[in-house]
């Protein structure tokens, strides 16, 4: 949502024509509608147009363009039906205008009301537990099990906002882009909307890492003609052979998204020029459902007649579709020019599911006649939502585990296939079968070999779970399970067990109080909580039952009217909660206040974050921590996406005071070919040529490749770039870049 009320001079008649043209374009995109549906869509358009008539977006255009554009994405790019289009047109009316949910129900019925309710944000009043972003996300996910269209419309809404993000302030761009990358792109992936997911990731990268984005984009443009020539030559013999065999088909080339290229460069630690799979060839067959599988394998045989395949790169997602319904046959083959090329083979139906995601999946569901893995995932989400004790931030973290992981295929003793995220353990598999089996699991036979609970499963493993009635969930289980289902069930069981034990502890305390003629009242219990520095009464009772609190020490406490007074050792000061600490910062406004680094800031302490070591010249922001004042982070700090997406309300603007130069720590990574005297050359540059103080240095070598990590004191980014250029001139050095200290406590606990 990007809006404001304004009073600019506009050509009203011209705008009216453009709005009507946009509406007509929407109707042309929406196919298979009857007269009644057409009338309802027109009514929704008229209601939205009237409700938003005084509103304009940050770009200055009428606000109504936004709901029309969202509805167009739903109709054109997601192939959703008339009800979704109606809801897309109305999605901001309840949140931003005088229209209520009751009005929506009166005009369009209960179904539309429920969807609009799911799309309406919670009012921005922070509760005392979690961020508003997390609460809004949870509210939206609550609707998945009832109507998946809520999430699809929300994704369309987010996609249009990202496409028009240029008109927003830079700090808002970063916060929205971070939230999109953290939650909405993975959600689009899980719903099978690959084109939406890729575009969301690319647009997030455009604002979060603009320099890298532009560099990769320009390199793709420079190599476009050469790629096109290569592709034409590569597909020519395949197309000729397929036509000769009588196949009806299309051959398309899909260029890898910018964000995917950047991920590959990072994961493989290679430059752009060494990314071999910049594009993929897609062969799409017009073939009946019953012939899809044999025809795809015949086409695979034709492709491999011309080009040598890599056996390790064959992916058969036709026999075992992915959890979101994706089906395709992938192989990677060697071209005559010595380049690996990925080839994807699929039917027209499979391609529509891959492009349009969940909507197309439901369209073909009945004709396919198989069990719906997506419905199974919806069931898992419903079970996750049943855990009412989970706060919004924990929910978002657990839910995200179900979104973006690669999958492995595991078999039961009878050969039933189960799909789990990569990294799953025996215990994850046990809970996937049934909660009772998970709670009592003591191990498993994996391919007829006995393995412990923490054994990490591999693709194709066959499991026979071993249970015991004496087994019960333990705290340490949470350290090695990865699925949200397992985590939720273990936490639930532990809480039930803890409450049962606490009930025993309460009885023990009551007997002890009676023994010493003390009153079992809230004042005495609160005193014991403070004395033993415990967070709540349940923890007190639990520790008493476990024998961790010696109640005989009550004898040492003075007794006065049933109240305790501690003589020797005052109760330790209780650690502040996040809410208590934030209350000290109530005078801060994250939208208006700006931290000027170098000046005193309203009496609050601030310091540079150790995880990313900002220096003058870096784009930075401040983050209110729990116990360490304000920490200054770089915008491209590895922690930024996490903090901005989940706790944006604790982020404030910051900038450097230009007239005060202070040396600050910067970390540099150097990668290259190991040579004699290399370390001496690098240290000589630091100490003699650039006059920089070195804080630490370490070098590792592996098969002739060296990697050095250096921490130096520099004045600003210009000073750092001067040093970097000198390093790049050293013979043998291949790459020089800044690095972030992933071992620092801040990196591992960014919310502190």
Residue 87 belongs to a domain with what CATH number? Answer: 1.10.3210.10
Tens digit of each residue's pLDDT (9 = 90 or more) over 311-356: 888 999 998 887 767 899 999 999 988 888 999 999 999 998 887 7
**Alpha helices (H) in 556-677, listed in sequence order:** 578-583, 640-646
Q: What are the residues whose beta carbons fall under 8 Å from the beta carbon of 333, sequence distance 6 or more?
A: 303, 304, 307, 308, 309, 310, 340, 341, 343
Which residue range is the domain that position 516 belongs to?
492-565
**Residue 311, token pair as written in the block:** 């056996």
In a domain, 439, yes or no: no
Residues 232 and 200 in one domain: no
pLDDT at residue number 743: 60
Residues 228 and 201 in one domain: no
C-alpha pair distances (Å), 741 with each of 159, 178, 383, 665 = 33, 21, 37, 12
706 touches 697 (CB < 8 A): no
pLDDT at residue number 748: 58
Residues 126 and 247 in one domain: no
Q: Which of 177, 208, 239 represents a domain boundary (last residue)? A: 208
Estimate to the nearest angstrom the gap between the alpha carbon of 345 and the chain centroid: 29
Residues 312 and 236 in one domain: yes
Q: How many domains does the chain have?
A: 4
Residues 301 and 184 in one domain: no
- Mapped onto helix, strand or coil, the DSSP state of residue 682 is helix
Angle at alpha carbon of residue 368, lines to 360 and 256, rounded to 5°:
45
157 touches 3 (CB < 8 A): no
Return the residue matching tokens 């009551």. 510
**Alpha helices (H) in 76-184, listed in sequence order:** 82-90, 93-96, 101-108, 110-119, 132-142, 149-163, 170-179
153 touches 619 (CB < 8 A): no
In a domain, 203, yes or no: yes
- Mapped onto helix, strand or coil, the DSSP state of residue 264 is helix
In a domain, 441, yes or no: no
123 vs 476: CA distance, rounded Å: 38
- Mapped onto helix, strand or coil, the DSSP state of residue 357 is coil
C-alpha pair distances (Å), 518 with each of 29, 362, 507, 523, 527 = 77, 66, 14, 11, 13
Return the residue matching tokens 């603007």. 653
**Alpha helices (H) in 434-483, listed in sequence order:** 435-439
**Residue 322, token pair as written in the block:** 């992915």
Burial class (CB in 10 A: 0-12, 13-18, 19+), 658: exposed
Q: What share of the chain is helix, strand, coil (3-state, %, to 5)?
A: 50, 20, 30
Identify any residues that bridge with 450 across adjacent strands, giving them in sequence order. Answer: 445
The closest of 250, 230, 253, 254 to 239, measured between CA atoms, is 250
- Mapped onto helix, strand or coil, the DSSP state of residue 745 is helix
526-532 contacts: CB < 8 A, separation 24 or more? 527/563, 527/564, 528/564, 530/571, 530/574, 531/564, 531/566, 531/571
Residues 203 and 234 in one domain: no
306 touches 299 (CB < 8 A): no
Q: Which of 368, 386, 413 represents a domain boundary (last residue)? A: 368
Residues forming the active site? 95-96
Neighbours of 528 (CB within 10 A): 20
In a domain, 383, yes or no: no
- Mapped onto helix, strand or coil, the DSSP state of residue 470 is coil
Residues 306 and 184 in one domain: no
Burial class (CB in 10 A: 0-12, 13-18, 19+), 331: buried
In a domain, 436, yes or no: no
In a domain, 537, yes or no: yes
Neighbours of 142 (CB within 10 A): 15
Pairing of strands 606-608, 620-624: unpaired
Q: What's the CATH code of the domain at 364? A: 3.30.460.10
Q: Which of 565, 583, 608 represents a domain boundary (last residue)? A: 565
Which residue stretches of the chain have pLDDT < 70? Answer: 1-10, 121-146, 324, 358-406, 553-592, 600, 602-603, 658-661, 689-691, 703-704, 741-752
pTM value?
Answer: 0.66
694 touches 702 (CB < 8 A): no
Q: What's the CATH code of the domain at 747? A: 3.30.70.260
In a domain, 694, yes or no: yes
204 touches 645 (CB < 8 A): no
In a domain, 344, yes or no: yes
Residues 275 and 249 in one domain: yes
669: left (phi over 0), alpha (psi -120 to 50) or beta: beta
- Mapped onto helix, strand or coil, the DSSP state of residue 256 is coil
**Alpha helices (H) in 621-729, listed in sequence order:** 640-646, 678-684, 717-728
The full 3-state SS of 30-62, as one line of letters, equals: CCCCCHHHHHHHHHHHHHHHHHCCCEECCCCCE
159 touches 199 (CB < 8 A): yes
Residue 240 host element (H or E): helix 224-245
594 vs 98: CA distance, rounded Å: 34
Residues 31 and 68 in one domain: yes
Angle at alpha carbon of residue 603, lines to 597 and 605, rounded to 5°:
55
pLDDT at residue number 588: 62
Burial class (CB in 10 A: 0-12, 13-18, 19+), 94: buried
C-alpha pair distances (Å), 419 with each of 226, 364, 431, 501, 512 = 40, 21, 13, 36, 53
Tens digit of each residue's pLDDT (9 = 90 or more) over 643-672: 887 777 788 888 887 655 677 888 888 888
Estimate to the nearest angstrom the gap between the alpha carbon of 629 and the chain centroid: 27
Burial class (CB in 10 A: 0-12, 13-18, 19+), 487: buried
Q: What are the residues whose beta carbons fall under 8 Å from the beta carbon of 404, sequence distance 6 or more?
A: 186, 189, 190
Residues 102 and 247 in one domain: no
Residues 503 and 641 in one domain: no
- Mapped onto helix, strand or coil, the DSSP state of residue 330 is strand
169 vs 171: CA distance, rounded Å: 6
257 vs 593: CA distance, rounded Å: 37
**Residue 669, token pair as written in the block:** 């990574």
Residues 240 and 202 in one domain: no
If you compute the radius of gyration of the chain from its CA atoms, what whole number of angstroms results? 30
Burial class (CB in 10 A: 0-12, 13-18, 19+), 321: buried
421 vs 267: CA distance, rounded Å: 19
393 vs 405: CA distance, rounded Å: 19
Q: What are the residues whose beta carbons fall under 8 Å from the beta carbon of 676, sequence distance 6 or more?
A: none
């Amino acid at each position: 949502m990007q809006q404001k009320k304004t009073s600019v001079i506009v050509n009203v008649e011209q705008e009216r024509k453009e709005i009507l043209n946009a509406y007509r374009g929407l109707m042309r995109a929406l196919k298979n509608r009857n007269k009644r549906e057409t009338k309802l869509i027109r009514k929704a358009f008229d209601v939205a147009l009237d409700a938003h008539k005084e509103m304009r977006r940050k770009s200055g255009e009428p606000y109504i363009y936004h709901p029309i554009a969202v509805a167009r994405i739903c109709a054109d790019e997601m192939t959703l039906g008339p009800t979704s289009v109606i809801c897309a047109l109305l999605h901001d009316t309840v949140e931003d205008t005088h229209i209520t949910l009751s009005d929506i129900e009166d005009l369009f019925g209960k179904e539309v009301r429920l969807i609009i309710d799911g799309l309406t944000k919670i009012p921005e009043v922070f509760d005392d537990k979690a961020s508003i972003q997390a609460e809004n996300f949870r509210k939206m996910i609550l609707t998945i099990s009832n109507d998946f269209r809520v999430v699809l419309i929300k994704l369309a809404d987010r996609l249009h906002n990202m496409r028009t993000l240029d008109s927003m302030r830079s700090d808002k761009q970063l916060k929205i882009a971070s939230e999109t990358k953290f939650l909405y792109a993975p959600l689009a992936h899980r719903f099978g909307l690959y084109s939406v997911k890729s575009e969301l990731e690319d647009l997030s990268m455009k604002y979060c890492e603009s320099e890298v984005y532009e560099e990769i984009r320009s390199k793709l443009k420079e190599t476009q003609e050469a790629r096109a020539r290569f592709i034409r030559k590569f597909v020519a013999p395949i197309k000729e052979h397929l036509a000769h065999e009588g196949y009806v088909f299309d051959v398309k080339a899909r260029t890898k998204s910018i964000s995917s290229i950047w991920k590959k460069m990072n994961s493989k630690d290679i430059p752009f020029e060494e990314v071999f799979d910049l594009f993929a060839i897609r062969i799409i067959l017009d073939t009946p459902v019953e012939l899809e599988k044999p025809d795809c394998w015949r086409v695979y045989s034709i492709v491999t007649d011309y080009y040598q395949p890599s056996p390790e790169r064959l992916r058969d997602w036709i026999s075992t579709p992915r959890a979101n319904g994706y089906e395709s046959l992938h192989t990677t083959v060697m071209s005559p020019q010595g380049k690996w090329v990925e080839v994807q083979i699929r039917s027209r139906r499979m391609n529509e599911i891959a492009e349009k995601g969940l909507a197309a999946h439901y369209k073909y569901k009945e004709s396919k006649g198989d069990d719906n893995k997506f419905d199974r995932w919806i069931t898992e989400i419903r079970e996750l939502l049943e855990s009412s004790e989970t706060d919004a931030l924990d929910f978002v973290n657990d839910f995200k585990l179900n979104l973006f992981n690669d999958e492995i295929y595991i078999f039961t003793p009878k050969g039933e296939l189960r799909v789990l995220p990569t990294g799953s353990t025996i215990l994850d598999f046990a809970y996937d079968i049934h909660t009772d089996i998970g709670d009592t699991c003591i191990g498993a036979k994996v391919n007829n070999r006995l393995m412990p609970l923490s054994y990490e499963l591999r693709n194709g493993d066959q499991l026979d779970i071993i249970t015991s009635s004496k087994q019960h969930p333990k705290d340490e289980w949470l350290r090695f399970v990865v699925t949200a289902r397992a985590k939720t069930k273990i936490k639930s069981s532990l809480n039930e067990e803890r409450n049962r034990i606490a009930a025993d502890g309460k009885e023990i305390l009551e007997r002890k109080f009676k023994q010493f003629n003390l009153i079992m009242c809230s004042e005495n219990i609160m005193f014991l909580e403070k004395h033993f520095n415990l967070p709540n009464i349940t923890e007190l009772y639990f520790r008493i039952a476990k024998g961790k609190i010696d109640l005989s020490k009550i004898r040492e406490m003075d007794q006065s009217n049933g109240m305790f007074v501690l003589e020797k050792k005052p109760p330790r000061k209780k650690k502040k909660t996040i809410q208590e600490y934030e209350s000290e910062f109530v005078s801060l406004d994250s939208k208006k206040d700006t931290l000027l680094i170098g000046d005193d800031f309203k009496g609050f302490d601030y310091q540079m974050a150790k995880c990313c070591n900002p220096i003058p010249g870096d784009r930075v922001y401040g983050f209110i921590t729990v116990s360490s004042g304000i920490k200054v982070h770089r915008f491209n700090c590895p922690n930024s996406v996490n903090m901005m997406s989940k706790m944006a309300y604790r982020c404030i603007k910051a900038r450097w005071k230009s007239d005060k130069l202070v040396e600050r720590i910067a970390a540099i990574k150097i990668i290259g070919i190991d040579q004699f005297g290399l370390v001496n050359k690098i240290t000589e540059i630091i100490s003699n040529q650039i006059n920089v103080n070195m804080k630490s240095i370490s070098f590792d070598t592996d098969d002739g490749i060296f990697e050095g990590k250096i921490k130096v004191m520099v004045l600003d980014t210009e000073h750092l770039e001067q040093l970097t250029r000198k390093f790049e001139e050293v013979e043998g050095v291949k790459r020089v870049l800044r690095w972030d200290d992933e071992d620092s406590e801040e990196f591992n606990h960014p919310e502190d």
